[in-house]
Amino acid sequence: MSLHYDVLIIGSGLAGQSAALRLADTKRVAVISKRTVDVSASAWAQGGIAAVLDSRDSIEAHIRDTFEAGSHLNDATATRFVVENGRRAIDWLIDQGVPFTRGEGGYHLTREGGHSARRVIHVADATGLAVQQTLTEKLLAHPNITVLENHIAIDFITGDKLGLGDDRCYGAYVLDTASGKVLTIAAPATLIATGGAGKVYLYTTNPDTSTGDGIAMAWRAGCSVANMEFIQFHPTCLYHPQAKSFLISEAVRGEGGILRLPDGTRFMPQHDARAELAPRDVVARAIDFEMKKYGLDCVFLDIAHKGRDFILHHFPNIHARCLELGIDITREPIPVVPAAHYTCGGIVTDLRARTSIDGLYAAGEAACTGLHGANRLASNSLLECLVFAEAAVNDILAQPARKLPKLPKWDESRVTDADEEVVISHNWDELRRFMWDYVGIVRTTKRLRRAQHRIRLLMREIDEFYANFRVTNDLIELRNLVVTADLIIRCALKRKESRGLHFSRDYPETAPIARRSLLRRARRKT
């Protein structure tokens, strides 16, 4: 089946939803969602959105903090662009009806690790969920927006692949996972808003949908990617056998939480003068160091000293979830471990969210705008989603009308149903385990080479499987994960230094000049 829209948006998180709502008054928009529309990494974001909203704060301070966290690999123009547009982005959310938490004299602002001021606006400790719920209601009600739930994009349709000799995206092939049918969706403009790739690792705070789809698809289409080695490991993921991927917000440390060893000893001041308020990469490496030093399964985050009333007011959802698991955070510390949390690199875009392929845009975690540098500052992620989604919308609306060529339907005449699905689950498990072991918080060249060798073997096996059997959701995700893992390793091997989230025992020093790790894919000759 073939469908046609003015704009195709792949991904239903904050970047995708905010772009759709901004476009829908004048464009027919399709939003592709891998699961239901409410399942996204954006909805899991607890802390809040960083923006300069207080007279005691400043644009320059926010920029300075972003650069400090990013080890000065940040793009100066992109960083200023995002920070200067922060207040407008928040005002837009307020206009949509997002119920941000109020304090004395206005909205309550919290402070998180790496920030020099209180500038994180939030909805208690479930900001992302509140924002998504507000926007989702509007999204589903808008007559110009078609939401295709339980659909997963397979690949982009480009002029290069069609033999047209141009460098343009015309849409995508999309699998309806309920029916097993592949749709051909044509659109003059396509926005990648698929999020990151946390599921490439064994332990992650990300939802199951975070499989690097947009990054892998863009790479196969010919887009440039950069800085994929910078995978942010959130320092404090709840450590409990029944707590899959539950994040303990940065705001817990921002509001006075203390990291302790099992015997109660505080350890962060020995690692950094900022202690628990150090950036995430510093805290994650410190926890990793202490766990390895003492052979620990976890460390503990203690907020009990702030009192029951304070905790229930600021962290009601974290308190409730921990209590379900038998942990009363008003009386005892929270067991935590680092886990893969955020992909700082991605598809290279400009200030209008354009990729290197005409008609193809990227916003949010899938993109590498230059904002995050070598490490994302806490609560800058949702801000980036909003600002660059708007930038993409403005560019899309400025484009002249374009006639699309007739697109070929998906060809599955030479494939059969898979006879052994266990191959997919086995490869998925192997990939995530060796990525955790060899391409984790602390790296060596030997480990990276070993991982690269394993990746190449897996890629050949998965490509053969893909060529011979009908596509399924699991196969598409595995295919994308292995490409994304390869990009992470290739970028890591290019970096002969330690900077931000990338720490190499072979190159422990930081180079005097910060340079991004850029990968360009050779275009196919037609």
Residues annotated as part of the active site:
280
Residue 249 near residue 315 (C-beta atoms within 8 A): yes
Residue type, 349: T
Q: Hey, is 516 helix, strand or coil?
A: coil
The H or E element spanning position 225 is strand 225-226
Residue 47 near residue 341 (C-beta atoms within 8 A): no
Tell the burial category of 319 from Cβ atoms under 10 Å away from its Cβ (0-12, 13-18, 19+).
buried
Residue of 195, 91, 93, 102 lying closest to 134 (CA atoms): 93
Question: What is the torsion angle, in degrees rounded to the nearest 10, for the CA atoms of residue 148, residue 150, residue 155 and residue 159?
Answer: -10
What lies within 8 Å, CB to CB, of 184 at 6+ separation is: 1, 2, 3, 157, 171, 173, 407, 408, 409, 410
Q: How far apart are CA 337 and CA 64, in angstroms?
A: 29
**Would you tell me how many other CB atoms lie within 10 Å of the CB of residue 119?**
26
What lies within 8 Å, CB to CB, of 228 at 6+ separation is: 215, 343, 345, 346, 484, 487, 488, 490, 491, 492, 517, 519
Angle at 278 between CA 276 and CA 284, to 5 degrees: 80
Q: How far apart are CA 89 and CA 73, in angstroms?
A: 24
Can you state the angle between helices 422-438 and 473-494, rounded to 10 degrees?
20
Q: How far apart are CA 499 and CA 406, in angstroms?
A: 47
Q: How far apart are CA 443 and CA 77, in angstroms?
A: 31
Write b or e for each residue in 276-311: b if 16 or more Cβ atoms lie within 10 A of its Cβ, otherwise e: bbbbbbbbbbbbbebbeeeebebbbbbbbebeeeeb
Q: How far apart are CA 16 and CA 37, in angstroms?
A: 10
Structure token digits, residue 91: 């005002």
**DSSP single-letter state for residue 133:** H
Tell the burial category of 403 from Cβ atoms under 10 Å away from its Cβ (0-12, 13-18, 19+).
exposed
The H or E element spanning position 294 is helix 280-294
**DSSP single-letter state for residue 462:** H
